[in-house]
Structure 1
């Protein structure tokens, strides 16, 4: 029983641990997606605030998901004039989808405005952080702003002084302007504990409770099944006397499915199967067990020795007789057994 308990506890803890990890993983991914979406929305508002402060005449719409369709009239290059004259720049279709607006005029307005007064990383970062606080998200944020040249290479780069940000913390990448784009990369610092410490504590408590309850229920079921197996009583009706020889009736008992004990003939027979001859002493002992039906077929050592040897204490003979009877019975029907019930009793299990 102790071995079964250890195995059962180990299995319950293992399965519970797997479910606990899966629940934490699913919750973490859900929380992570929610935080990233709020971070993107907050940055849109921060950038909108920055552009409005520059008195731009048009607003813009943020398109980060990469599903903005390429328009049929999108040119493969654009000509932009500056202090150094007119220059042609090739457009990148991928960056086109990641731009904050699909309006060509607004893009041009952004390019010209930001060329004169570039975005300030620290200032924009603080505005973004403020909008995040308004969404009840108190997380560390960082920005990296780069200006690309006509060949798409980084010409100027300005990043927040945050050593923690890495590619794994990248939340979004967007582009502003029309060719020679400004690339903005947003980073968010969060941990599993920061995002779902309440859920972790709740799942841990639920895990402990469930493991304990399942373990106790399983143990009770096993104990009950074992008890029912030991106390299982198969009706043993006395078959009508079919023959008498020398005034001695042939007493017959049904022990199990199609298994009959003929006390008068001193044999056990399985209908349609084999049979086993019993010695007189084994036959007498089996009948003693069957007559103890009201006591769940339990006999004390004292009562057995009294019937077989007149009350003399002969333990060795008793144990050998029980073993001999058990062996004969199980040759006919292995499911029938005789167990040592306590230190002083035996029980016939039908």
Structure 2
């Protein structure tokens, strides 16, 4: 028997450091996270505050950033860490992605030196949590339509509005909030104990249950001018952060798919149907073979994009292609695995339906599949079709 990684000789494409990081995160996931994740999912809870320092100690928070206590690893190494985290649960990878690729990246890329020194070291250590407030109740795929406003009042700024579907929102210490101003869209660092700021945790989710999701409200939130991200001008700033998060998903979604496939192969080998193992039937093997090929192709594309990114030349449409492919393949694999497990596949004793439910969100957030199709369509034809 071989794994998909062995089938496609993935290890031969990795450096010693990449394999070491992958194995370290995999071990942490198996020992610290996996024994509890089904219970977290069932309860609709996630111990972000408890886990953040442990993730920080491993260097996983803002790990692709340089300086300020960040690990400064390569894009490929970061991607492999995302893959191993999402092999446990998409909610775990989402927490790390929002902290590092969204909140910390916004500060690192667009913040002042004072802002970087104030926030980044403690966020990298997991002592402080951040969230990223871009999506609004009526504006998801079209962030340019945002209604959250920031107006000048003397030397201060006053923010009013709301944000929706914000990971880490109700446990964050600082919120990166994007708002419309007279000069265009700007970013602000909002300490969550600021008067007028509120965060309401969202419940009754059927996906990403082992993740904290909140709605943010800003009612006359007054901030000094030094809370503004000075280098963030226009919508390109938050979209640049989203591209970083999408890159993590290119790898991460494949981790969920791999976990489904591994669990399903093991189940099929031990489950007897009509006096022989389920794995011995041609239809089962055909399904497993097709899923292995799709997963392997996804892994090869992810690694290729990682190498391009490390060389400094990855383009947004290339990240869109990776995100579209990985999420589509992963959710298809999760659903097919469920058919092999039969009724057992709907329980939390096995990870497949939990992953499938999570991937419904991963398919949608950081740009829906349809948005990425249009990004690729524009790149291929030169014509915009968003409107």
Give the TM-score, by structure 1 length.
Answer: 0.22
Greater percentage in strand = 1
Greater percentage in helix = 2
Give the TM-score, by structure 2 length.
Answer: 0.20
